Structure formats: C-alpha cells, structure tokens
C-alpha cells in the first residue's frame, strides 16, 4: 500500500511583508516531507492577490493547508474556497465575512498603534521607521531593521475591496492569537477565531509570531496538517 502524501503548505503574506516572512518555517516543513510554497503578490488589490495565490496552489499537490498572516488572512479566506484547499491556518490575521472588507472588519475595534506610525505617499501606505516596534517589537533589533527594510507597502485602497468567497464557513480552521499584537487588535483576532469556529491558540507575541515564535507556529501547522 502506498504511503499517504503529507498535505502541502501554501503561505500567504500580509502587508509590509512578502513571502520571505515564512523563512523560519519553510525549511523545517520541507524536511518533514511537506511540499511548501510561499505566494508572492503585489498588494495592489485583494482580487489580484487572491488570484495570484490560487495560481500558486497549482504548483503543489493536494490536499493543501493554506496559511495566512495578517492581511494574508483576507487572502486565504477567499482563495481557500478552491477545492484543493483542505484547511486554513490564520496567524494574527484578518478573516472577513462575505459582507465585510478588511477595512470594515478592523473598524469594529480600536485603532492599533502601528496605524499611528504610517505615511501615505505615492498611493502606497508606508510604515515609518518609528513604527517597527509596533509591528515586530519582540524581535532582536537587527531583525527588526531587516523587517522594515524589506517591508512591501500596500496600495492605499487595498483594504477597501475583497474578492468573493468565505472558506472558513465550510473548511476547518486553526487560529493563532498574538496577545501583544499592536498591528491587528488581539480582540479582533479572538472575535474572528470564535466566528470561524477555529481551533484557537494564544501566544504572548507581537504581530509576527512566525518570526518570534516559529516553533509554536510550526506546531499549529503540524496539527492542522494532521487534522485533514
């Protein structure tokens, strides 16, 4: 009898990031026998980012665990309706419903400190150097500098329109709440996880637990992979 293939892992990144934000997870998952790919997209519109992520699904075998951080949660919420996706992992992420935009979901909660450290210029939203501590303050200073230097600014209109589809209504979800998050409000994260009916995990982390607590995040992804 053939040995069952482990689920593939596809990552979706947030704003002020790109696919390399998962570099502390990818080698371990590959070594454990998963096909892994990290989507890259332009942060120009959610419809484009979702379409790009769906294209990445075709580069690995099914079934797929789709993992989204921050705004990447909005991406996987729509892209995850693809039949090749078996489960969803949200990391300090948005998870809007059909009638919500990313902006609308966030508007229900207090403004977080990072959004007081931004500059809108040339149609993009830039994080000021002074805001990096709000984003990833539990990383060593040298890592914080790298995160800021490689941050991809989103279009100023990115959060105002969503691609259709809500995968968490029909597919199992796992959710990591970052208790010390100053980018996505922790109470938003808890409310999103509860609404999804997600298996929920809490970690005393900044907005980027995949960088500051990679072993914890790996264990949640392993649990999700085993669960499908």
Q: Where are the domains of the chain?
A: 8-108+158-227
223 pLDDT higher than 80? yes
Q: Are 127 and 135 in contact (CB under 8 A)?
A: yes
Query: 2 falls in which pLDDT band (50, 70, 90)?
Result: very low
pLDDT value of position 4: 54
pLDDT in tens, 141-166: 999 999 999 999 999 999 999 999 99
Query: Are the C-beta atoms of 80 and 166 separated by less than 8 Å?
Result: no
What confidence tier does 3 reach under pLDDT thresholds 50, 70, 90?
very low
β-pair partners for 226: none
Q: What percentage of the chain reaches a pLDDT higher than 70?
A: 98
Domain 8-108+158-227: homologous superfamily in CATH: Alpha/Beta hydrolase fold, catalytic domain (3.40.50.1820)
List, in order, residues 6 or more apart from 6 with CB less than 8 Å away.
32, 33, 34, 225
Measured between alpha carbons, how far is 136 from 147 in angstroms, rounded to an integer? 8
- Residue 108 CB coordination number (10 Å): 11
State if pTM tops 0.85: yes
Round the average pLDDT of the chain to a whole number and report it: 96
Which carries the bigger pLDDT value, residue 130 or residue 3?
Answer: 130
Which residues, other chains included, contact 99 with Cβ-Cβ below 8 Å and sequence gap of 6+? none
With pLDDT > 90 as the criterion, what percentage of the chain qualifies?
A: 98
């Amino acid at each position: 009898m053939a040995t069952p293939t482990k689920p593939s892992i596809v990552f979706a990144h947030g704003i002020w990031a790109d696919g390399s934000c998962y570099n502390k997870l990818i080698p371990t998952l590959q070594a454990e026998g998963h096909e892994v790919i990290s989507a890259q997209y332009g942060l120009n519109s959610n419809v484009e980012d979702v379409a790009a992520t769906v294209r990445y699904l075709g580069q690995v075998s099914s079934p797929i665990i789709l993992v989204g951080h921050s705004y990447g949660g909005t991406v996987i919420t729509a892209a995850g309706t693809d039949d090749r996706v078996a489960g969803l992992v949200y990391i300090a992420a948005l998870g809007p419903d059909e009638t919500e935009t990313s902006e609308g979901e966030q508007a229900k909660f207090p403004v977080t400190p990072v959004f007081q450290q931004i500059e809108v210029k040339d149609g993009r939203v830039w994080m000021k150097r002074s805001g990096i501590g709000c984003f990833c303050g539990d990383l060593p200073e040298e890592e914080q500098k790298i995160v800021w230097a490689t941050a991809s600014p989103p279009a100023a209109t990115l959060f105002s329109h969503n691609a259709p589809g809500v995968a968490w209504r029909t597919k199992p979800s796992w959710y990591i709440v970052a208790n010390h998050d100053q980018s996505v409000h922790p109470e938003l994260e808890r409310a999103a996880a509860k609404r999804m009916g997600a298996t929920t995990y809490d970690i005393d982390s900044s907005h980027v637990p995949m960088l500051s607590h990679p072993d914890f995040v790996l264990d949640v992804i392993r649990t999700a992979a085993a669960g499908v």
